[in-house]
Amino acid sequence: MASETPPDVEAFPAGPGDITPSWLSSKLGIKVSQLEHTRLIWGTESKLFYTVTYSEDAGEDLPKYICIKGVFDPAMVAAQPWTVSLARREGDFFSKIAPLLKGVEINFPKVYWSGTSDSQGICIMEDLTHSGCTFAPEVASYGVDVVIDGVEQLAAYHGLFWGKGQEDKGFEWIWNNYDPAVTFLVSAWDQIVTHPGRIKLPEFLSDGEKINKVLKQYYEGRNPKFRTLLHGDTHVGNVYFTKEGKLGFLDWSTIHFGSCFHDVVYFMTALMTIEDRRKHEMEILDRYLKKLGESGGPVFDRNDEGVMKEYRRSMMTNVVWTICPHDLQTPERVNMLCERAVATLEDHNTLDRILAEREE
């Protein structure tokens, strides 16, 4: 299972050239005789793929094909130092949270070692492609059965941490790194939404000052009754499918405490067409609530006081797709998710509902 290295005990690899057989041997606890770098995927957290040859029989516990994830572009780190916090958060997830999830019905990649330093976070994980897994294309839609599978997994995860917060022992390190990032992006609303190639937004989303005001009220008004530990970024680019067809969740770099419905509405909106989401939305919500109650969380239904209010206001989390930069996601994916996000905000009258709370 993944283990944590205290900050700055050692120098962590800063680039692909620093990943050597001897370094990998020290992390896996078995001598690596050869390490072949086969491919890479650059990003805010890059993924380096290797074929590994061991000096002795590794049995079935260690893989021949691995993915090493971290921040490996010094120039990008210098320009965008916040990327380090994402890598460190994911490293900490696999060393501190993943061991708590034994027996919990949620799928995520197998990690053989993870650790952090002040300037790095690294995960040595399975190469999912060689495990027979597949990934969503840039533009994709899935049916209600897939989405129910996903929200039930989220419910099992949420139930384990229901009511927890950063003030609780063992969770002090989980500061909210998500809300400030979205607030920063939305602060440039009027500039970003007018860029060439972006979808024209409807009139109710035309006022950047209003959007910023609503977002602030949304964050300030979340009901602590629904607080749990979130995945935080459950969009279509952060899921995969096992060779058995089960959905799994990738990219645990934005885990934070917040309203459970953040994960639910963000996931549902991203994976379904507008028409399918409208048709099956309440069925999906009911299945989430049922599984939540079975997984250690409270027993809620849609008639409980506050459930639908919190659910509808949580649609505000989808606003990120209206201003998501194209250097973070492709224009094709951003445009698809923007259309779906706008529909949720309109269907649930989210902005006006949140603004009206000041008058209640």
pLDDT of 167-205, one tens digit each? 999 999 999 999 999 999 999 998 888 888 899 999 999
Is the domain of 178 the same as that of 317?
yes
Is residue 328 located within the same domain as residue 199? yes
Say if residue 70 is in the same domain as residue 148.
no
HSE at residue 126, side-chain half, CA atoms within 13 A, is 16
CA distances from 235 to 140, 240, 250 (A): 11, 11, 10
Residue that terminates a domain, selected from 110, 126, 142:
126
- Whether residue 246 lies inside any domain: the answer is yes
92 vs 174: CA distance, rounded Å: 9
Whether the CB-CB separation of 177 and 254 falls below 8 Å is answered with: yes
Return the CATH number at 51: 3.30.200
Judge if 169 and 58 occupy the same domain. Answer: no
Q: Residue 146 domain-assigned?
A: yes
The share of the chain scoring above pLDDT 90, in percent, equals 81
**Do residues 69 and 158 both lie within one domain?**
no
Residue 4: inside a domain:
no
Domain enclosing residue 355, as ranges: 134-359
Domain finish residue from 85, 102, 126? 126
CATH number of 286's domain: 3.90.1200.10
pLDDT tens, 291-340? 999 999 999 999 988 999 999 999 999 999 999 988 888 999 999 999 99
Domain boundary among 126, 147, 171: 126
Give how many domains the chain has, as a whole number. 2
Question: Sheet containing 247-249: which strands, arranged edge to edge?
Answer: 134-135, 239-241, 247-249
Give the pLDDT of residue 1: 47
pLDDT of residue 57: 80
The reply to whether 183 and 109 lie within a common domain is no
pLDDT (tens digit, 9 = 90+) per residue, 139-173? 999 999 999 999 999 999 999 999 999 999 999 99
Q: In terms of C-beta density within 10 A (0-12 exposed, 13-18 middle, 19 or more buried), how is residue 22 classed?
A: exposed
Same domain, 141 and 242: yes
Residue 286 has pLDDT above 70, yes or no: yes
pLDDT at residue 88 is higher than 90: yes
Band of residue 60 on the pLDDT scale cut at 50, 70, 90: confident
Within a domain: 221? yes
Residues 34 and 164 in one domain: no
Considering the domain architecture, whether residues 174 and 317 belong to the same structural domain is answered as yes
Report pLDDT for 5. Answer: 46
Are residues 225 and 191 part of one domain?
Answer: yes
Residue 10 belongs to some domain of the structure: no
Give residue 77's pLDDT.
79
220 and 118 in a common domain: no
Q: Would 205 be classed as within a structural domain?
A: yes
> Tens digit of pLDDT for each residue in 212-242?
999 999 999 999 999 999 999 999 999 999 9
Q: Are residues 87 and 196 in the same domain?
A: no
Contact status, residue 288 vs residue 158, Cβ threshold 8 Å = no
7: in domain: no
Residue 1 lies in a domain: no
